[in-house]
Amino acid sequence: MAKSIRSKFKRKMRAIKRKRIEPRELKRLEATVARLPAETIAEAVMETEERQKEAIESATVARLPAETIAEAVMETEERQKEAIESMETDTKGSINLKTMKKADGTFPSWLSQRKVKQVKKKQKMILKAKKKKAKRNR
């Protein structure tokens, strides 16, 4: 792709923006880590150490016979499957899929503002139709 002035400028502005946002992002990350229990942090540290060891081992894989490589691949696949199966969620879906609202009446944070507006508009139209129908039936 060509290096136009526009793309260079945009890249430059993104770099400046990253520098500006970095302290806030770091603060948010530290706050998140502070809220985590000590056990979770210890598990994460152990997991990263294991990954580093696996990376070192995989760097020396070229010297190992094909059978041991196949065994190692099978073991890692089994570990990944176990990790996926053991994954648990804290809460069940507390969002009403019809209204897209939580139990307390607020919209979830992951829902875009455009979608929120669409849902509100749809609910408003339904409410108007119900009122109009009730008025006719009087």
Distance CA 43, CA 29 (A): 17
Distance CA 132, CA 124 (A): 12
pLDDT in tens, 21-60: 999 999 999 998 888 887 887 888 888 889 888 888 777 6
Distance CA 55, CA 105 (A): 47
Strand intervals (E) in 18-93 = none
| Whether the predicted model's global pTM rises above the 0.75 cut | no
pLDDT in tens, 91-127: 666 888 889 999 999 999 999 999 999 999 999 999 9
pLDDT value of residue 60: 64
pLDDT value of residue 118: 95
Distance CA 116, CA 90 (A): 25
Distance CA 60, CA 54 (A): 10
Distance CA 44, CA 54 (A): 15
